[in-house]
Amino acid sequence: MFQWQVAWRYLTSNLLQSALLIAGVALGVVAFVFITALINGLAIVLTEETTGSIAHITLEPQVRVAPVLTDQSDYAATPVSNSQRRQIRDWQVLVSMIEAMPGVVAVRPEIDGNGFLVRGEAVAPVAIKGIEPEKLSVVAPIADSIVSGRADLSAGSLLIGTQLAGDLGLGVGQPVILRTERDRERLLTVGGIFETGIASVDERLAYLNLRSARPLFELPDGVIQLSIRLQDPADAETLAPALASLTGLHAVPWQERNRNLEDALAAQASTGSLIQLFAMVSIAIGVASALLLSTYRRRSEIGIMRSFGISRRFVAMVFVIQGLLVGLLGGLVGALSGYALCLWLYSIRQADGDPILPIAPDQGGYALVIALTTLCAVLAAVLPARAASRLDPLEAIQQ
Amino acid sequence: MNPLLQVSQITKSFIERELETRVLNGVNFSLQPGELVALLGPSGSGKSTLLSIVGLLLSPTAGSMRLLGDEVAQLNESQRSAYRSRHLGFVFQAHHLLPDFTARENVAFPAAAPRNRMTGAMHRRAAQLLDQVGLSERIDFRSTALSGGQKQRVAVARALMNKPQLVLADEPTGNLDRETGFQVMDLMKQINRAEGTTFLISTHDTQIAERCDYRIHLLDGRIDRVD
Ligand SMILES: Nc1ncnc2c1ncn2[C@@H]1O[C@H](COP(=O)(O)OP(=O)(O)OP(=O)(O)O)[C@@H](O)[C@H]1O
Ligand SMILES: [Mg+2]
């Protein structure tokens, strides 16, 4: 295509000027890539922080309301009174079934309940998780968070957080009475104290052996819920409905309980969009002004072309194509430089080994930025292209 | 024989700051195919204006004009543009070569642009035209690397690229020294004789005008005489 050859010749005729223009565009692209990788990296870190120590899907018994008794008898389920205890009875079958599913890392049956820890005069509310000892750390890395004692969940042993231990003045090996919501009591021993850094956990949560929890919560064979960990937490929202229909239980993906995270991520994303928009506008202004200058410099050439009867369209296209080439080259150079910058920033580590910036170098929106930059540059070239194509050949020649 | 160009009662006025100046005031003449004609007249007599009107670069205020049998005075911009591309060639006082292109590319440009591609045939024709104007050794030179006379010869070759019926040359020798000017003039005459291309050449130089078949003298917006 001859238009492309002419546009290319024009761009390469003044290499320094074109290089500066492309560098300017590339700089805007670098800013775009940096902010995109940073916002995405932040989202990843925040999501990881949130999903790192919680169940990705929780399976709970359905809230069952006794149906109104009618003469219709086509209910699949036997009507059950809501005064019945909510529990999962056939959990052993479900655990092995769900653990065999692809994408599922672990399933932990839990007896969850509330109670009070009593030590002499001091009383503190506590949320109890009764679990199998070997599954202590499958949801949150509790074993790694033990600061004193051991991650020991043998019968009669209790693991509590540092805050709770401090509140009650408890140390490892000391006895404490647990009184549950079912009004049962038992004397337990503090086996270990953990510190997760999450205040609500360190202040309220205690782990207990599943078997020890049974009499305390009056559940001889059922459990209250199943906590599921997935390979990819992002799958929770698609897997939850499948699990619900498979088990007949109520499946809650983690996102449902962490809507504030979504709001925070959305707010960050819109800040990012604003900066991305500014980057694109500055690219467009740069391209438009450079090409406008070029049409002015070349007006006698354009005039002579027009006098030969070369169409306005041809002249316009030569400038639009220059815009396209500048956008594409600037986009490519900028994307590569942006990637290099992100990699470099990612490689700078703090003392604890984490990067100084939570940047995600492979999430810089590279294809998007190249496409957007090319589009912006083409649109920015329309104004100069129109100016060039409307030049009066006679006026241009008589200069 | 049907005239190639027939100009009847052409007038042209420019309005500047509400002041109307009539530059052409009823111009009539015709050109036969194959003629080599000089357009003479004092500075400001309207030679460039007349050539621009004939070249469809400027619309007359009034009058009619037939080119190759078509009435062309009232064509719209894109029709005039297409007409220029197909039937007309231009040589101006300044060469207006494209500085980023070689001599050959400059010559081929008027053919390549409308078809949006540069073909081997165009390259060959451009080389042949450059040979014809005596620049066979300079075909792949950048146009900026040529002398004034060489550039003007490239401009002549370029005007001929699309095999126009009529070439309009506005003081083509005006920027050249006398000797070089004569060479360019002789070149146009040679092409006129060989190809039968019609030339209308404005000039101040009577010796250039002498080399033409006849001369049209413009004075006060009218044709004063033809000799
Ligand atoms: N665009 C225009 N606007 C106003 N006046 C114009 C315009 N173009 C030409 N004129 C006027 O028309 C007259 C004729 O100009 P033109 O350029 O045709 O003369 P010319 O014979 O070519 O002169 P020269 O020999 O100096 O080139 C001049 O008086 C000029 O001022
Ligand atoms: Mg003139």
pLDDT averaged over 10-residue windows placed end to end, chain A, 399 residues: 94 93 96 94 88 89 61 51 74 91 93 92 93 90 90 90 93 93 92 90 93 92 93 90 91 89 89 93 94 92 92 95 96 97 92 86 93 96 94 85
Kindly report the CATH number assigned to the domain that includes residue B164. 3.40.50.300
**Which residue among B81, B94, B113 sits closest to A2, beta carbon to beta carbon?**
B113
Tell me whether residue B5 is in a domain: no
Contact A369, B33 (CB under 8 A): no
ipTM of the shown complex: 0.91
Q: Which residues have a Cβ under 8 Å from the Cβ of B88 and sit 6 or more positions away? A: A309, B55, B56, B164, B165, B166, B167, B168
**Cβ of B92 and A397 within 8 Å?**
yes
- Best mutation site among B10, B12, B21, B49 for ligand 1, i.e. most ligand atoms within 8 A of its Cβ? B49
Cβ-Cβ contacts under 8 Å, A314 against chain B:
113-114, 116
Say which of B57, B96, B117 has its CB closest to residue A2: B117
Residue A69, Ramachandran bin (φ over 0: left; ψ between -120 and 50: alpha; else beta): beta
Q: What is the largest CA-CA distance in chain B?
A: 53
- At residue A83, the pLDDT reads 59
Q: Where are the domains of chain A?
A: 2-50+261-398, 65-253
Please answer yes or no on whether A311 and B98 come within 8 Å at the CB atom: no
Confirm if B124 and B201 have CB atoms less than 8 A apart. Answer: no
Q: What is the pLDDT of residue A123?
A: 92
CA–CA separation, A108 and A94 (whole Å)? 11
- B143: in domain: yes
Flag whether B22 is in a domain: no
pTM of the prediction?
0.80
A343 alpha carbon – ligand 1 mean position (Å): 65
Structural domain boundaries enclosing B54: 34-58+76-216
pLDDT category of residue B110 using cuts at 50, 70 and 90: very high
Average pLDDT, chain B: 93
- pLDDT of the residue at A68: 52
In chain B, the number of structural domains is 1
Residue B125 included in any domain: yes
Residue A132 identity: E
C-alpha dihedral over B175, B180, B185, B187, to 10 degrees? -130
Half-sphere exposure (CA, 13 Å, Cβ side) for A138?
Answer: 21
CB pairs under 8 A between A and B: 76
Angstrom distance (rounded) from CA B101 to CA A89: 86
Gap between the terminal Cα atoms of chain B: 21
**A119 burial type by CB count under 10 A (0-12 exposed, 13-18 middle, 19+ buried):** middle
B109 touches chain A (CB under 8 A): yes
Ligand 1 and B220: CB distance under 6 A: no
**Distance in Å, CA A93 to ligand 2 centroid:** 101
